[in-house]
Chain A
Amino acid sequence: MTKESPQKKTMKKLIKAIWVLNWFNSCGFAELIPVVASRWDMERFGMIVVGNPRHADVLFIAGYQTLKSIKRAQRIYEQMPEPRVVIALGSCTMTGGMYWDSYNTIKRLEDYLPVTMYIPGCPPRPEAVFEACAKIFKHVEEME
């Protein structure tokens, strides 16, 4: 039985709350807002939505991205302090999805940003987003 390093112990104490920056495109907007609002409340788990990338830990990329909006998302990612996690939500973000033959949407998110987790669905249900949030906590613990 290995002993836990002292760093891991302090990390477990510090990870009580994660601050999230949401980058909604259209499809994410209508299905992520109930996650923040009354029925499935994200605040119970310690996650709130912040408006400034410099305060955020997690970046949710929800919905299909176009060439114009992915440049802005990259700038936001550069402003986030380490450690930072990117989550891709929805099938149109990951593989092009329903707009696979459109000239203006991007088809592979990993060419632009380093993605940690994928949540499939069109759009994914709030319960799926919750399961992803639970996995983030575990992932951040294992990162050290």
Chain B
Amino acid sequence: MIEKEIIDKIKKKFKVEGSIQRERRVIVKTAPDKLVELCKFIKDLGFEHLSSLSVTDWPKRGIYEHTYHAWSYKDKILITIKTEINRDKPEIDSVYLVWGESAQIHEREMHELFGVEYKGNPDLSPLFLEEWHEKPPFRKDFDWREYVRKNFYDKENERERVYFEEV
């Protein structure tokens, strides 16, 4: 099976946890300091297309979990690489040197929405929001319904009273 061969090739060079989720899906977990080397290695194995990059916020465990999804046109497999970094001071190396512009634009979005610092990314200016001075909007401790009720709606207004009732 191709999925098993790929995990074995990676395990020969790096110390990682690998598993097969289902057909065509391989998951690999690694530490953040080995991230860029591992990404260069799998790009040479054929995973040239970075499909997506995302951050999940786990406040109970105190981490931000990064996931990188890369697709190989040659073998038709998707590999998911996961790392964990600290939530209060999130910093990680950028994968711009590995996958180019497609990685750079995803990291710019994650910097704005979650507040992660990417070392080595040439451009981290704001993308969607203008003059936003509060904390990064997609963190779990920023409650949107509280924010909207305080800033946009008025309890005295007849039309808007319904938004103050909890569903």
Q: Are A103 and B130 in contact (CB under 8 A)?
A: no
For A, the interface residue count at a CB cutoff of 8 angstroms equals 12
> For chains A and B in complex, what number of residue pairs have CB atoms within 8 angstroms?
23
**CA–CA, A104 and B160, complex, Å:** 18
CB of A1 within 8 Å of the partner chain: no
Q: Of the candidates B129, B145, B153, B163, which one forms a contact with A104 in the assembled complex, judged by CB atoms under 8 Å apart? A: B129
CB of B133 within 8 Å of the partner chain: no
**CA–CA, A28 and B89, complex, Å:** 42
**Chain B residues numbered 7-55 whose CB sits less than 8 Å from any CB in chain A:** none
CB of B58 within 8 Å of the partner chain: no
**CA–CA, A96 and B151, complex, Å:** 13
Question: Chain B: interface residue count, which band?
Answer: 10 to 19
Q: Are A100 and B163 in contact (CB under 8 A)?
A: yes
Which residues on B sit within 8 Å (CB–CB) of A106?
Answer: 152
**CA–CA, A107 and B145, complex, Å:** 13
CB of B61 within 8 Å of the partner chain: no
CB of B59 within 8 Å of the partner chain: no
Main secondary structure of the interface of B (DSSP, over half): loop
Main secondary structure of the interface of A (DSSP, over half): loop
CB of B60 within 8 Å of the partner chain: no
Instruction: Please name the residue on chain B nearest to A68 by beta carbon.
Output: B130
CB of A101 within 8 Å of the partner chain: yes
CB distance from B117 to the nearest CB of A (A): 23
CB distance from A66 to the nearest CB of B (A): 9
**Chain B residues numbered 109-161 whose CB sits less than 8 Å from any CB in chain A:** 129-130, 137, 144-145, 147-148, 152-153, 159-160
Q: Are A67 and B137 in contact (CB under 8 A)?
A: no
Q: Are B159 and A101 in contact (CB under 8 A)?
A: no
Given A67-B130, A68-B130, A95-B159: A103 and B153 within 8 A (CB)? Answer: no
Which residues on A sit within 8 Å (CB–CB) of B137?
Answer: 103
Instruction: Please name the residue on chain A nearest to B149 by beta carbon.
Output: A101
Which residues on A sit within 8 Å (CB–CB) of B163?
Answer: 100
**CA–CA, A101 and B153, complex, Å:** 10
Question: Which residues of A are interface residues toward B (Cβ below 8 A)?
Answer: 67-68, 95-96, 100-104, 106-108
For the A-B complex with A67-B130, A95-B159, A103-B137 known, give 10 more contacts whose Cβ atoms are closer than 8 Å.
A68-B129, A68-B130, A100-B163, A101-B144, A101-B145, A102-B144, A102-B148, A103-B148, A104-B129, A107-B152
